[in-house]
Structure 1
Amino acid sequence: MTITVFTNARLLDLQGGTLTAPSAVLVEGDRISGIGATDGFPEGAKVIDLAGKTLMPGLIDCHFHVVAYSLDLWANAIAPDSLAGLRAAKVMSGLLDAGFTTIRDLGGADLGLVRGVEEGLIDGPDLVICGKGLSMTGGHTDLRQRTDVRPRCPWLAPRQHGRSG
């Protein structure tokens, strides 16, 4: 098991709304196992001196769209799948660099992006996906212009009463 000690780390004191004095954080494997004194580390531990920088847990964004590369939703929708995937990989790498370790994608990301992260093909946060976005008529995923006056779709027309011929 890998043992890592982060020394001279300032931590968020959420109750006090302040940063702590420089402390040590002991990580065994993928779990924090101790916080406190800056001496007496386990034999063979990897020691990383943060020189007073703030050490935080990974952030989680509960509403994101990694395939929304631009605010032009139509351009995003008509982009070739391969280009959309490459753009999403760039967005996800930026999210990871900004401290986000988990993203809940509410429309657009698919299993391929999840697997890409899991298999180490792209750098990005863990993705929790929901599939394609849903919207009401006129909502933000209804890409028709407000001036679109095309007739209703036949399958949405009111039922005709009487015999069919």
Structure 2
Amino acid sequence: MPQISLIYPLYEHSEACLCHSPAFRRINTVMTEEAAKAPPITTATVSAALSDASSPHTENPTPSAPLKAFTNVRIFDGVSDALREGLQVIVEGNKIKAIEPEGTPLPAGIDVIDGAGGVLMPGLIDAHWHAIMARPSMMTAMTADFSYIQALAIAEAKATVLRGFTTVRDMGGPVFGLKRAIDERITAGPRIYPSGAFISQTGGHGDFRLLHEVPRAPGDSL
């Protein structure tokens, strides 16, 4: 039968799902009561909301994203065989706005980054990555305190983005907390697409049980 990696916490209770807990039932009751107090949603309410959403709000315009200019760089565009020189790249927010001849006048107040002749290139994507297991040995991953494993994952995430990988597909492991911390800019790291728990056959690539650990009987709790 498929095995879950041992780096996940194992629950002995039959009702591990929080939706069965008294606390969740209490929260659901309170939210249901609050929802009942709200005015009913009518066609007129929806039409008014759509009208407000589509009308321009000139009194509160959306602030423009900050501009950055990368100068003195050699550009690898992912298509050409040779690096392109004599160009500068304008970035608005997290998107490339323009690639123009170097020396083109820049807007006032723009943040200019001198590349010192280095290579500027699109972010790399690693389609098979494990944030939790990239740095520790297998034995360390199975036996060390999880807070230590998480600290290693944070350090590896920073090192990964500094190597040029701006997006990774995490193929297995409890990485949702790290993804959230990166998304909320608490720590530095690549954009993570997490898979979650491993799925593996007994004795397979994701079965991390030791030799003295025997399979449990079918139907038993984990």
**Overall identity of the aligned pairs, in %:** 34
Q: CA deviation at 1:155?
A: 2.4
**TM-score w.r.t. structure 1 length?**
0.81
Partner-residue secondary structure (3-state), 1:116: helix
Question: Please, what is the CA RMSD of the aligned residues?
Answer: 2.3
Q: CA deviation at 1:106?
A: 0.8
Give the counterpart letter for 2:155 in structure 1: K
Partner-residue secondary structure (3-state), 1:94: helix
Structure 2 counterparts to residues 1-165 of structure 1, below 5 A: 1-38=65-102, 39-70=104-135, 72-144=137-209, 148=211, 153-155=216-218
How many residue pairs end up in the alignment? 154
**Contact 1:10/1:52 (CA < 8 Å) preserved in 2?**
yes
Relative to total residues, which structure has the larger helix share, 1 or 2? 2
The runs of 5 or more residues in structure 2 that have no matched partner are: 1-64
Q: CA deviation at 1:29?
A: 2.3
Partner-residue secondary structure (3-state), 1:10: strand
Q: Which has the higher contact order (CA 8 A, sep 6+)?
A: 2
**Contact 2:127/2:170 (CA < 8 Å) preserved in 1?**
yes
**Contact 2:77/2:122 (CA < 8 Å) preserved in 1?**
no
Partner-residue secondary structure (3-state), 1:128: strand
Partner-residue secondary structure (3-state), 1:76: helix
**Contact 2:201/2:207 (CA < 8 Å) preserved in 1?**
yes
Q: CA deviation at 1:66?
A: 0.9
**CA deviation profile, 1:75-113 (whole Å, cap 9, x unmatched):** 302322211111110111110111111111111133211
CA change 1:69–1:80 in 2 (3 A) is: farther
The runs of 5 or more residues in structure 1 that have no matched partner are: 157-165
Give the counterpart letter for 2:171 in structure 1: L
Task: Identify the range of structure 1 (131-140 vs 63-72) with the bigger mean alpha-carbon deviation.
Answer: 63-72
**TM-score w.r.t. structure 2 length?**
0.62
- Displaced runs of 4 or more, over 6 A: none
